[in-house]
Protein backbone atom coordinates (compact mmCIF):
# COMPACT_ATOMS: atom_id res chain seq x y z
CA UNK A 1 0.00 0.00 0.00
CA UNK A 2 1.40 3.31 -0.94
CA UNK A 3 0.69 6.42 0.98
CA UNK A 4 0.13 9.37 -1.27
CA UNK A 5 1.40 12.42 0.53
CA UNK A 6 -0.99 15.29 0.70
CA UNK A 7 0.07 18.06 -1.63
CA UNK A 8 2.02 20.41 0.61
CA UNK A 9 0.56 23.83 1.02
CA UNK A 10 2.71 26.90 1.34
CA UNK A 11 2.12 29.13 4.32
CA UNK A 12 1.53 31.86 1.80
CA UNK A 13 -1.47 30.19 0.18
CA UNK A 14 -4.86 31.28 1.41
CA UNK A 15 -6.39 28.78 3.83
CA UNK A 16 -9.76 27.24 3.07
CA UNK A 17 -12.60 28.57 5.20
CA UNK A 18 -12.82 26.40 8.30
CA UNK A 19 -15.92 25.97 10.44
CA UNK A 20 -14.57 28.39 13.02
CA UNK A 21 -13.81 30.97 10.36
CA UNK A 22 -17.27 30.53 8.94
CA UNK A 23 -18.84 31.25 12.33
CA UNK A 24 -16.56 34.25 12.72
CA UNK A 25 -17.51 35.58 9.31
CA UNK A 26 -21.19 35.06 10.06
CA UNK A 27 -21.01 37.00 13.32
CA UNK A 28 -19.02 39.70 11.54
CA UNK A 29 -21.76 39.92 8.95
CA UNK A 30 -24.46 40.09 11.60
CA UNK A 31 -22.54 42.85 13.41
CA UNK A 32 -22.18 44.82 10.20
CA UNK A 33 -25.89 44.33 9.46
CA UNK A 34 -26.92 45.49 12.93
CA UNK A 35 -24.67 48.58 12.74
CA UNK A 36 -26.00 49.38 9.29
CA UNK A 37 -29.56 49.07 10.55
CA UNK A 38 -28.73 51.43 13.41
CA UNK A 39 -27.13 53.85 10.97
CA UNK A 40 -30.25 53.90 8.82
CA UNK A 41 -32.19 54.82 11.95
CA UNK A 42 -29.68 57.59 12.72
CA UNK A 43 -29.97 58.96 9.21
CA UNK A 44 -33.66 59.67 9.75
CA UNK A 45 -32.80 62.22 12.42
CA UNK A 46 -31.60 65.16 10.26
CA UNK A 47 -34.94 65.43 8.48
CA UNK A 48 -37.55 66.73 10.89
CA UNK A 49 -41.17 65.61 10.48
CA UNK A 50 -42.29 69.22 10.82
CA UNK A 51 -40.08 71.91 9.33
CA UNK A 52 -39.49 75.14 11.16
CA UNK A 53 -40.32 77.14 8.04
CA UNK A 54 -42.75 80.04 8.21
CA UNK A 55 -46.29 79.38 7.01
CA UNK A 56 -46.64 79.50 3.25
CA UNK A 57 -50.16 80.92 3.34
CA UNK A 58 -50.63 84.54 4.32
CA UNK A 59 -53.16 87.33 4.06
CA UNK A 60 -52.34 90.83 2.96
CA UNK A 61 -54.25 94.03 2.22
CA UNK A 62 -53.31 95.63 -1.09
CA UNK A 63 -52.57 99.37 -0.99
CA UNK A 64 -55.54 101.49 -2.07
CA UNK A 65 -54.07 103.20 -5.10
CA UNK A 66 -51.98 100.35 -6.52
CA UNK A 67 -51.64 101.17 -10.24
CA UNK A 68 -52.42 98.40 -12.73
CA UNK A 69 -49.33 96.41 -13.65
CA UNK A 70 -47.28 97.71 -10.72
CA UNK A 71 -45.90 95.12 -8.30
CA UNK A 72 -46.66 95.14 -4.60
CA UNK A 73 -44.22 93.07 -2.55
CA UNK A 74 -45.62 92.35 0.93
CA UNK A 75 -42.84 92.99 3.49
CA UNK A 76 -40.88 89.84 4.33
CA UNK A 77 -42.49 87.78 1.57
CA UNK A 78 -41.02 86.55 -1.73
CA UNK A 79 -44.13 87.36 -3.75
CA UNK A 80 -45.13 90.17 -6.10
CA UNK A 81 -48.88 90.92 -6.18
CA UNK A 82 -50.51 92.72 -9.12
CA UNK A 83 -53.97 94.13 -9.58
CA UNK A 84 -55.55 95.25 -12.82
CA UNK A 85 -59.03 95.43 -14.35
CA UNK A 86 -59.17 91.65 -14.84
CA UNK A 87 -58.29 90.78 -11.26
CA UNK A 88 -55.46 90.02 -8.87
CA UNK A 89 -52.53 87.70 -9.46
CA UNK A 90 -49.35 86.84 -7.58
CA UNK A 91 -45.97 85.76 -8.97
CA UNK A 92 -43.18 84.25 -6.89
CA UNK A 93 -40.07 86.43 -6.91
CA UNK A 94 -37.69 83.64 -5.85
CA UNK A 95 -35.40 83.11 -8.83
CA UNK A 96 -35.78 79.60 -10.24
CA UNK A 97 -32.02 79.53 -10.83
CA UNK A 98 -30.42 79.76 -7.39
CA UNK A 99 -33.01 81.29 -5.12
CA UNK A 100 -32.11 85.00 -5.07
CA UNK A 101 -35.01 87.46 -4.92
CA UNK A 102 -35.72 89.00 -8.31
CA UNK A 103 -36.58 92.70 -8.55
CA UNK A 104 -39.83 93.75 -10.30
CA UNK A 105 -39.06 96.27 -13.06
CA UNK A 106 -41.09 97.96 -15.75
CA UNK A 107 -40.30 95.15 -18.22
CA UNK A 108 -40.74 92.25 -15.83
CA UNK A 109 -38.23 90.91 -13.31
CA UNK A 110 -34.44 91.07 -12.91
CA UNK A 111 -32.29 88.75 -10.82
CA UNK A 112 -29.32 90.44 -9.10
CA UNK A 113 -27.28 87.27 -8.63
CA UNK A 114 -26.69 85.79 -12.08
CA UNK A 115 -28.51 88.15 -14.41
CA UNK A 116 -31.64 86.13 -15.24
CA UNK A 117 -34.43 88.26 -16.75
CA UNK A 118 -38.11 87.40 -16.76
CA UNK A 119 -41.01 88.88 -18.70
CA UNK A 120 -44.01 90.35 -16.88
CA UNK A 121 -45.74 86.96 -17.05
CA UNK A 122 -42.74 85.28 -15.40
CA UNK A 123 -41.30 83.56 -18.48
CA UNK A 124 -37.51 83.52 -18.88
CA UNK A 125 -36.09 85.95 -21.44
CA UNK A 126 -32.38 85.83 -20.56
CA UNK A 127 -29.87 84.16 -18.31
CA UNK A 128 -29.50 80.83 -16.58
CA UNK A 129 -32.93 80.42 -14.94
CA UNK A 130 -34.25 77.02 -16.00
CA UNK A 131 -37.96 77.63 -15.38
CA UNK A 132 -40.42 80.56 -15.48
CA UNK A 133 -41.40 82.23 -12.20
CA UNK A 134 -44.48 80.36 -10.95
CA UNK A 135 -47.86 82.04 -10.53
CA UNK A 136 -49.27 81.47 -7.07
CA UNK A 137 -52.76 80.71 -5.86
CA UNK A 138 -54.63 83.79 -4.65
CA UNK A 139 -58.12 84.23 -3.27
CA UNK A 140 -59.70 87.67 -2.89
CA UNK A 141 -62.15 88.58 -0.15
CA UNK A 142 -63.01 92.27 -0.09
CA UNK A 143 -59.85 94.33 0.23
CA UNK A 144 -57.78 91.41 1.50
CA UNK A 145 -55.91 88.88 -0.59
CA UNK A 146 -54.87 85.44 0.64
CA UNK A 147 -51.78 84.07 -1.09
CA UNK A 148 -50.56 80.49 -0.92
CA UNK A 149 -46.83 80.37 -1.72
CA UNK A 150 -46.95 76.58 -1.68
CA UNK A 151 -49.46 76.18 -4.52
CA UNK A 152 -48.63 77.13 -8.09
CA UNK A 153 -51.36 77.84 -10.63
CA UNK A 154 -51.33 78.10 -14.41
CA UNK A 155 -49.77 81.25 -15.81
CA UNK A 156 -52.49 83.84 -16.52
CA UNK A 157 -54.86 82.82 -13.71
CA UNK A 158 -56.39 85.93 -12.13
CA UNK A 159 -58.88 86.19 -9.29
CA UNK A 160 -61.51 88.85 -8.83
Partner 1 sequence: MRASPGGRAALAEFRANLKAAPRRLYESAFRSGAPTTDRSRSTFVFGNVFLHLHAVRTHRWSLRWTTTLGLGVMSASAFLITLVTGVMLMFYYKPSPDLAYQSIKDIHFVVPTGRLIRNIHRWAANVMVVAVILHMARAFYTSAYRSPREYNWLIGLLLLVVTLGLSFTGYLLPWDQLAYWAITIGANIAQSPRELTDALGVTGLFDPGGFQRLLLLGSDVVGQEALIRFYLLHVMILPLALAALAAVHFWRIRKDGGLTRPADADARLAREPAADTYPVFTEAPLRTYHLAAVVRGRTPAVNDGPEHTLPSMPHLFYAELGVLMLTLLVCVALALVSDAPLKELANPSVPENPAKAPWYFLGLQEMVAFSAFMGGMGIPLIVLLGLALIPFLDRETSATGEWWGGPGGWPLVKRSALVGLAAPVAIEAFAIRFGWLREWFPAIPQLVVTAVNPATLLTAAYAAYSVWCIRRHQSARAGALALFTCFLGGFVVLTAIGTYFRGPNWVFYWSPADWPTH
Q: Which residues bind partner 1 (CB under 8 A)?
A: 11-12, 46-48, 51-54, 75-78, 97-101, 110-115, 123-128, 130-131
The sheet that has 124-126: what strands, in order across it?
Answer: 103-104, 108-110, 117-119, 124-126
The residue (of 1 and 40) whose beta carbon lies closer to partner 1 is 40
> How near is the Cβ of 130 to partner 1 at its closest, in Å?
5
The residue (of 57 and 126) whose beta carbon lies closer to partner 1 is 126
> How near is the Cβ of 60 to partner 1 at its closest, in Å?
14
- The Cα–Cα gap between 109 and 119 comes to 6
Q: Is 129 helix (H, G, I), strand (E, B) or coil?
A: coil
For 37, list phi and psi in degrees, rounded to 5: -60, -45
The residue (of 51 and 85) whose beta carbon lies closer to partner 1 is 51
In which element (H, E) is residue 153 found? strand 144-153
> How near is the Cβ of 106 to partner 1 at its closest, in Å?
15
> How near is the Cβ of 90 to partner 1 at its closest, in Å?
16
Closest alpha carbon to 97 in 82, 75, 77, 112: 112
> How near is the Cβ of 124 to partner 1 at its closest, in Å?
6
Burial of 129 by CB count in 10 Å (0-12 exposed, 13-18 middle, 19+ buried)? buried
The residue (of 29 and 156) whose beta carbon lies closer to partner 1 is 156
The residue (of 70 and 110) whose beta carbon lies closer to partner 1 is 110
Amino acid sequence: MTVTPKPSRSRLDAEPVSRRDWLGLTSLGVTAGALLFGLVGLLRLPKAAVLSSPSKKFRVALPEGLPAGEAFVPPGRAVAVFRDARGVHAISITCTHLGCLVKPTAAGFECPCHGSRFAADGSVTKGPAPRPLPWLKVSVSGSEVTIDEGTAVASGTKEV
